[in-house]
């Protein structure tokens, strides 16, 4: 059974000009010890979808419809207090985008990790600090670093510290939102390796949110590609990268230059992502799609399975 099931999730933001449909009918599952990659351009709704799982919505955001089932309980139906006590950090935790730059500058790393433990669990301060040290060792730092302040650590170390913080209450699922974007390639590789190692050691599931598909190729078992609030392709990573079905996925994979293999021309996608206040009718990708036909402009494509557990929402199939 899968650990997390998201079904037909819809999340809208209230604005003066109307509802922004940030997440519009999105479904996916995450199994135990599995890592799911959630990819797409900025503003496609990938972070909003993740925030729904934690129920950490900004005041103008609301879940309109859908079910988020974590181990049999529907998170959507739980009250805020219940989510705070039972779900957040204990079951699902998150490494927020840019979290390493949001560490409190006047508290030590250990204090900040212990704070998460003290908030969620009934343990003493000394015990919490001890655990903070163990957590740092887990992510490849010395336990003595709990006495360090954020400014004394490098970017890679800070990223490891926030990873330790996410692991502080032994969650089953960790959502990592662009965990390596501010890091240099070598440090990025180091952090990704730590994440992969932890997955095996702690029986963790990951949701990795990123715009860089090559990172998903290297770390995830399955991937969901989002475009303008919807998932356009979903399935196992290996067949998806071998033979991407949706035109958007095809473009996205070849948009990144590779250091391996022959030098190929980079693909580009004409135009810009749509305004989610007024998304285009039919298939949302049709204004930028080179294969668009009449039906794409009028009818929204539904998911079809194309064998090998790969799903795609496109009229071509």
Partner 1 sequence: MEKGIAVEVHNLVKYYELKLGFFKTLVTRQVPYVHAVDGVNFAVREGEIFGLVGESGCGKTTTGRCLIRLIEPTRGEVLFKGVNILSLSLEHEVRRLRRKMQIIFQDPYESLNPRMSIYDIISEPLRIQKVAESEEEISDRVSQALEDLDLVPPEEFLYRFPHELSGGQRQRVAIARAFVLRPEFLVADEPVSMLDASIRSEVLKLLLGMQKKLHTSFLYITHDIALSRHMCDRIAVMYLGKIVESAFTDDIIDKPLHPYTEALIAAVPVPDPTARRIEVVIKGEVPSAINPPPACRFNTRCPHAMDICRKKEPPLMEVEKRRLVACHLYGSEGAKR
Residues that bind partner 1 (CB under 8 A): 41-42, 154-157, 184-190, 192-193, 196, 211-215, 217-219, 237-238, 241-242, 251-261, 263, 266-270, 272
Q: Using the minimum distance from each CB to partner 1, give the nearer residue, 86 or 196.
A: 196
Q: How far is the CB of 257 from partner 1 (least distance, A)?
A: 4
The dihedral through the CA atoms of 221, 238, 227, 184 has a sign that is positive
Bridge partner list, 223:
37, 235
Q: How far is the CB of 297 from partner 1 (least distance, A)?
A: 21
Residues 6+ apart with CB under 8 A from 274: 228, 280, 284, 287
Residue 72 CA to residue 91 CA, distance in Å, equals 13
Q: Using the minimum distance from each CB to partner 1, give the nearer residue, 72 or 261.
A: 261
Residue 224 CA to residue 234 CA, distance in Å, equals 4
Q: How far is the CB of 242 from partner 1 (least distance, A)?
A: 8
Q: How far is the CB of 303 from partner 1 (least distance, A)?
A: 22
Q: How far is the CB of 223 from partner 1 (least distance, A)?
A: 9
Q: Using the minimum distance from each CB to partner 1, give the nearer residue, 16 or 186.
A: 186
Q: What is the CB neighbour count within 10 angstroms for residue 267?
A: 12
Q: Using the minimum distance from each CB to partner 1, give the nearer residue, 9 or 213.
A: 213
Bridge partner list, 177:
209
Bridge partner list, 19:
14
Q: Are 157 and 141 in contact (CB under 8 A)?
A: yes
In a 3-state reduction of DSSP, which class is residue 305?
Answer: strand
Q: Are 106 and 127 in contact (CB under 8 A)?
A: no
Q: Are 195 and 176 in contact (CB under 8 A)?
A: yes
Q: How far is the CB of 267 from partner 1 (least distance, A)?
A: 6
3-state DSSP helix/strand/coil percent for the chain, to nearest 5? 35, 25, 40
Q: Using the minimum distance from each CB to partner 1, give the nearer residue, 7 or 218.
A: 218
Q: How far is the CB of 107 from partner 1 (least distance, A)?
A: 23
260 burial type by CB count under 10 A (0-12 exposed, 13-18 middle, 19+ buried): exposed
Q: How far is the CB of 187 from partner 1 (least distance, A)?
A: 6
Q: Using the minimum distance from each CB to partner 1, give the nearer residue, 102 or 238.
A: 238
Q: Using the minimum distance from each CB to partner 1, give the nearer residue, 127 or 257.
A: 257
Q: Using the minimum distance from each CB to partner 1, give the nearer residue, 113 or 213.
A: 213
Give backbone dihedrals phi and psi of 29, rounded to 5 degrees, phi first: -130, 155
Q: Are 204 and 195 in contact (CB under 8 A)?
A: no
């Amino acid at each position: 059974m899968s650990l997390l099931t998201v079904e037909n999730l819809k999340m809208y933001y209230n604005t003066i000009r109307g509802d922004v449909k940030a997440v519009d009918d999105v479904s996916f599952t995450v199994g135990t010890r599995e890592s799911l990659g959630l990819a797409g351009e900025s503003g496609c709704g990938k972070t909003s979808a993740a925030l729904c799982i934690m129920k950490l919505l900004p005041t103008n955001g609301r879940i309109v419809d859908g079910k988020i089932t974590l181990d049999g309980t529907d998170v959507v139906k739980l009250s805020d207090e219940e989510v705070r006590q039972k779900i957040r950090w204990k079951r699902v935790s998150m490494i927020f985008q840019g979290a390493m730059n949001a560490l409190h500058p006047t508290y030590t790393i250990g204090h900040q990790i212990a704070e998460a433990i003290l908030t969620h669990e009934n343990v003493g301060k000394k015990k919490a600090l001890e655990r903070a040290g163990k957590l740092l060792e887990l992510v490849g730092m010395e336990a003595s670093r709990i006495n360090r302040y954020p400014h004394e650590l490098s970017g890679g170390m800070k990223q490891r510290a926030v990873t330790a913080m996410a692991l502080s209450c032994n969650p089953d699922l960790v959502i990592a939102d662009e965990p390596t974007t501010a890091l240099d390639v070598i440090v990025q590789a180091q952090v990704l390796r730590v994440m992969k190692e932890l997955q095996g050691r702690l029986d963790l599931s990951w949701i990795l949110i990123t715009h860089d598909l090559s990172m998903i190729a290297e770390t995830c078992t399955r991937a969901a590609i989002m475009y303008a609030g919807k998932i356009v392709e979903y399935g196992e990573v290996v067949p998806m990268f071998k033979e991407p079905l949706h035109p958007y996925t095809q473009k996205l994979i070849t948009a990144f230059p590779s250091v391996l293999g022959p030098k190929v021309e980079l693909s580009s996608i004409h135009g810009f992502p749509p305004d989610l206040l007024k998304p285009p009718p039919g298939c949302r990708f049709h204004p930028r799609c080179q294969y668009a036909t009449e039906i794409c402009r009028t009818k929204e494509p539904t998911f079809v399975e194309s064998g090998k557990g790969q799903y795609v929402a496109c009229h071509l199939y």
